[in-house]
Structure 1
Amino acid sequence: MLSLTDHTALVTGAGQGVGRQIALQLAQHGAAVVVNDFYADRAETVAKEIADAGGSAKAVTFDVADYAAVAAGMEAAERFGTVDILVNNAGNAGPRVDPLAPAPPFWETGPADWSPWLATNLHGVLNTTRAAVPGMIERGWGRVINLMSDAGRVGEPNLVVYGAAKAGVGGFTRGLAKALGRHGVTANCVALASVRTEATAALLDDPAAAKKVLSNYVIRRLGEPEDVANLVLFLASGASSWITGQTYPVNGGYSFAV
């Protein structure tokens, strides 16, 4: 039931970290994978990694925050295969240079500070979904899987606007699920806490900071990209055919879903 043979998946932000692992996992289960990233070399490296392992992949570079670029990228993706699995993984953790430095409070920021958070994390999801969903409706089958963050479920004082963008993704997904269900298309969210990736390396290399982070988790380890990819695989497959509009935390017990 986890076979994705004869399906084509588009994974945004798949050039590294969680997105890369999702792309690899879907390819291992038979999907043809369109590997998207903002950086062409990253996308091409992952696509080659899939091909070298015997899978089928194509690198497509575009910025999810640019709708015109997304539309052009979708055209390129559809020439490779009919996209019926969309994984909105691309995200922006914000413009902070030093991940160990405290973020300024929300009331000391302004629209120019908020824009990077909103453009990729919320508008990017709207853009790619708008581009992909008409084809899914036409074919009568599809999966939209949106990665969000526990910052959007429970709130984080240093990630106020980021959390707002991610919460918006959750609300968007629930509405989308109700709109698409009659067309055979499901939409679900996967909410993450701290996962060990290149983006978190600076934080996790600091022993004191890592210890503080781990104290928040019932399961005393950080997430691995594989933990996320396993759930995405399930939601992309036929095994999840009667599940839609849900948000599933993958967070080691950082917070609990009700």
Structure 2
Amino acid sequence: MFSLEKKTVLVTGASKGIGAAIATALGAAGAHVVAHYGHDRAGAEQALASVPASRKHFVQADLHDLAATEAMWDDAQAWRGRIDVYVNNAAIMLWHGGFEADDATWDAVWEETLAVNVLAPARLIRRAVKHFLAQEGGVLVTISSWAAQRGVTNPDTIAYAASKAAVRSMTQTVARAHARDGLLAYVVAPGVVRTQMSEAFAATQGGEDKITATLAMGEWVPPEDIGNLVAFLASGTARHLSGATLDVNGASYVR
């Protein structure tokens, strides 16, 4: 068993999907949760509805804006004076950046995807590392994707796949560079999770039934599975798992 009662955890993209499930699981495990949202505060509040007011704090930031991203970390850290765990979750997937796109569309999709999925997380990971070194310990959990290992079936989302590979590599670097400093870093690589993003992706691939037929369990991953895994990783219980990429796809992709 584990408890997060003494942990302060920052989760980006906590208003829906995987991020909301992570926030809920962290709150249930006793953590003080800092829930980041872009526009949907109501979604973040719903994710932490059962958590006492003293254990939740909401921070807004548009991750396209690096100044706002930095200010969000400052706000999160100021709440309780420290952050013990940073969950790097927020990401976007854009649909019109395939090989047949015109140059302007291709460039725009890559620019926006890298801004939100790579540059903002890079700033926050840097802040986390500096903070964790100062307090002699901390946990980084990055939500990547199986797309980072196997690519995507729809090349219109190639920028998304590349961005998920980038944050995976950042997190692995933190794990290797700071293993002796008490910093633990984990990568979670979900497969097809029941989220709005995955449902939209399935629509581009012939529909949910076609996607489901390819899955070993014949079902999509519940977001709660990711939330419960991240809560466990946040506890720091499995220290020597640091640096690992944890596949969560119901045995559909086994390495």
Does the alignment reach a TM-score above 0.5? yes
Asked whether 1:152 is paired with 2:144, we answer no
**Inter-CA distance 11–17: structure 2 relative to 1 (3 Å threshold):** same
1: distance between equivalents of 2:132 and 2:238? Answer: 16
The residue that corresponds to 2:192 in the other structure is: 194
Name the residue aligned to 2:121.
125
What secondary structure is seen at the aligned counterpart in 2 of 1:75? helix
Alignment of 1:19-30 (within 5 A): 19-30=19-30
Per-residue displacement from partner, 1:85-105 (whole Å, max 9, x unpaired)?
000110101155xxxxxx633
The corresponding residue for 2:110 is 114
How much has 1:41 moved relative to structure 2?
Answer: 2.4
Name the % identity.
Answer: 31
CA distance in 2, matches of 1:191, 1:219: 17
Assess if the C-alpha contact under 8 Å between 2:25 and 2:231 holds in 1: yes
C-alpha spacing 1:219/1:203, structure 2 compared with 1 (3 Å): same
Question: Which residue of structure 2 lines up, in the alignment, with residue 256 of structure 1?
Answer: 254
Unaligned runs of 5+ in 1: 97-102
The alpha-carbon deviation at position 46 of structure 1 amounts to 3.5
Deviation of the 1:44 alpha carbon? 5.2
Question: In the superposition, relative to structure 1, how do residues 241 and 219 fare at CA in structure 2: closer, same or farther (>3 Å)?
Answer: same
Q: Which residue of 1 aligns with 2:79?
A: 80
1:124 deviates by 2.3
Matches within 5 A, 1:1-258: 1-42=1-42, 45-46=45-46, 49-51=49-51, 56-81=55-80, 82-95=82-95, 104-105=98-99, 108-109=102-103, 110-157=106-153, 158=155, 159-202=157-200, 209-257=207-255
Q: Structure 2 CA distance, aligned partners of 1:46 and 1:25? A: 13
Partner letter of residue 59 of structure 2? Answer: V
Gaps of 5+ in 2: none
CA distance in 2, matches of 1:133, 1:203: 33
Give the CA deviation at 1:51. 3.3
**What's the CA shift for 1:42?**
3.5
User: For residue 98 of structure 2, what is the amino acid of its counterpart?
Assistant: P
Which residue is equivalent to 1:99? none
Contact 1:65-1:127 within 8 A present in 2 as well: no
TM-score computed with the length of structure 1 as normaliser: 0.88
Q: Distance in 2 between matches of 1:24 and 1:144?
A: 18
- For 1:100, the equivalent position in structure 2 comes to none
CA drift of 1:108 comes to: 4.7
Q: Is the 8 A contact 1:13 1:36 kept in 2?
A: yes
Give the CA deviation at 1:17.
1.1
TM-score by length of 2: 0.89
Structure 2: how far apart are the matches of 1:119 and 1:170?
16
Q: Do 2:109 and 2:159's aligned partners in 1 also have CA atoms closer than 8 Å? A: no
- Partner amino acid for 2:174? L
Aligned partners of 1:125 and 1:220: how far apart in 2? 33
Local SS of the residue matching 2:219: coil
Aligned Cα RMSD in Å?
2.4
Q: Tell me the SS of whatever aligns to 1:6.
A: coil
The verdict on how the C-alpha distance between 1:55 and 1:192 changes in structure 2, with shifts beyond 3 A counting, is farther
Cα–Cα, structure 1 residues 146 and 106, in superposed 2: closer, same or farther, change >3 Å? Answer: farther
Q: Which moved more, 1:54-63 or 1:173-182?
A: 54-63
